[in-house]
Amino acid sequence: MDTILLEDFLAVLDEGGFSRAADRRNVSQPAFSRRIQSLEAWVGAPLFDRNTHSVRLTMAGERFRPVAEDLLRRLHAGRHEAVAAAQAGLDTLKFASTHALSLTFFPAWLRQIEAAAPTSSTVQLTADNMIACEKIMLDGRAHFLLCHHHPAASNRLAADAFISIELGCDILVPVAAPAYRHTDLRAGPFLGYTSESGMGRILHAAWTAIGRKLPEQPIFSSHLASIIVAMAREGRGIAWSPLSLIEMDLRTGSLVKIGSTADQVQMEIRLFRPKARQTATAEAFWMVARKHATIKRRRAK
């Protein structure tokens, strides 16, 4: 049923007659009468007593009046709430990030961006594994994705729909508890990544590109680099961890590097976004982030 008919019904009561209600609704009286009849047909009973000179509701009309008023009131209130929520959403920057970078990179990087261009926008961050983050982006539930990237590793963010900028670099480093300091890297035991992990995807792609095989049968696996590192601290085996995640461990000696630099994998830290235009707030943030990344690369040279 069209809500216009409910507004017509209440206009008759407000104006005290069909003619004045028709004028108020900017429609001819015959057309207005037909609309009221359509509403009565939908209800299944006459709403007005047409045997009197004044406008009077039938018993069915009396019962229907509070329902019509409540429905329109709730619809208008819901519309205002939806508009308010949409306007608030325009000022919210939504990020997806892999777990490791949400802990090690995102907070300081965001502070630098906000220092360069202060904003009143709120920030929403969802941290998850790489597959889940890709799904968030593909569903349009975030403006940006922060993740590790390797040229040999594929992802679901196709180049014809998404673009990215490099924000920094990181290294996948084989590490273990001090007891493994002089262990042959090839001997293991190994702590591995599950298929949901972006780290696992990068390690596999990088090693495949140079003809190197991944260790078989890890004694433990997880999609979280932080869990893999925690198990390495407990002396459970050798793990490949982002350097950004274990810098403190290396300084304190709770973890040590295993193997040589040839066993390490260089990675990029990238910020992805859809090619399609986003909210004004998201577009403004992208411009600042891109400028900040350019300045950082120039200084690094």
pLDDT recorded at residue 187: 80
pLDDT recorded at residue 217: 81
Is the CB of residue 82 less than 8 Å from the CB of residue 112?
no
pLDDT recorded at residue 84: 63
Q: Among residues of the chain, what percentage have pLDDT more than 70? A: 96
Distance CA 75, CA 180 (A): 67
pLDDT recorded at residue 210: 86
Rounded to a whole number of angstroms, the CA Rg of the chain reads: 32
- Average pLDDT value for the chain: 89
- The residue out of 38, 58, 88 marking a domain boundary is 88
pLDDT recorded at residue 2: 79
Calculate the alpha carbon distances from 29 to 1, 21, 23 in Å. Answer: 21, 9, 8
pLDDT recorded at residue 79: 77
The one-letter amino acid at 208? T
| CA distance between the termini of the chain | 67
Please tell me whether the peptide bond between 189 and the residue prior to it is cis, using omega within 30 degrees of 0: yes
The one-letter amino acid at 161? A
Tell me: do 63 and 203 sit in the same domain: no
Model confidence at 157, pLDDT cuts 50, 70, 90, reads confident
Tell me: do 169 and 256 sit in the same domain: yes
Our CA angle for 287, 292, 296, nearest 5°, is 150
Is the CB of residue 269 less than 8 Å from the CB of residue 168?
yes
Nearest residue to 60 (alpha-carbon basis) of 77, 40, 75, 78: 40
pLDDT recorded at residue 88: 61
Tell me: do 134 and 283 sit in the same domain: yes
Tell me: do 179 and 253 sit in the same domain: yes
CATH of the domain at 41: 1.10.10.10
- The residue out of 58, 88, 118 marking a domain boundary is 88
Q: What is the pLDDT of residues 285-300, one digit of tens each?
A: 999 999 999 988 887 7
Residues 6+ apart with CB under 8 A from 150: 202, 205, 206, 265, 266, 267, 268
Nearest residue to 257 (alpha-carbon basis) of 186, 185, 187: 185
pLDDT recorded at residue 154: 87
Residues of 75-113 as b/e, b for ≥16 C-beta within 10 angstroms?
A: eeeeeeeeeeeeeeeeeebbbbbbbbbbebbbeebbeeb
Q: What is the pLDDT of residues 268-289, one digit of tens each?
A: 999 999 988 888 888 999 999 9
Domain housing 129: 92-300
Distance CA 104, CA 145 (A): 15
Model confidence at 230, pLDDT cuts 50, 70, 90, reads very high
Domain count, the chain: 2
Q: What is the pLDDT of residues 87-108, one digit of tens each?
A: 665 678 999 999 999 999 999 9
Tell me: do 76 and 112 sit in the same domain: no
User: Which structure tokens are listed for 133?
Assistant: 């983050």
pLDDT recorded at residue 85: 67
Tell me: do 169 and 35 sit in the same domain: no
pLDDT recorded at residue 150: 94
Is residue 24 predicted with pLDDT exceeding 80?
yes
Could you tell me where the beta strands, DSSP code E, fall in 20-161?
A: 92-98, 122-128, 144-149
Is the CB of residue 98 less than 8 Å from the CB of residue 135?
no
CATH of the domain at 162: 3.40.190.290
Tell me: do 271 and 124 sit in the same domain: yes
Tell me: do 140 and 162 sit in the same domain: yes
pLDDT recorded at residue 129: 92
Stretch among 12-16, 46-50, 181-185, 286-290 having the lowest mean pLDDT: 181-185
Q: Is 76 helix (H, G, I), strand (E, B) or coil?
A: helix
Tell me: do 74 and 109 sit in the same domain: no
Is the CB of residue 98 less than 8 Å from the CB of residue 198?
yes
Q: Is 114 helix (H, G, I), strand (E, B) or coil?
A: helix
Residue 230: how many other CB atoms lie within 10 Å:
14
pTM value is 0.70
Q: What is the pLDDT of residues 191-225, one digit of tens each?
A: 999 888 999 999 999 988 888 887 778 999 999 99
- The residue out of 72, 88, 104 marking a domain boundary is 88
pLDDT recorded at residue 279: 85
Tell me: do 101 and 57 sit in the same domain: no
Model confidence at 54, pLDDT cuts 50, 70, 90, reads confident
Tokens 């403006």 -> residue: 143
Tell me: do 194 and 67 sit in the same domain: no
pLDDT recorded at residue 1: 62
Tell me: do 80 and 107 sit in the same domain: no
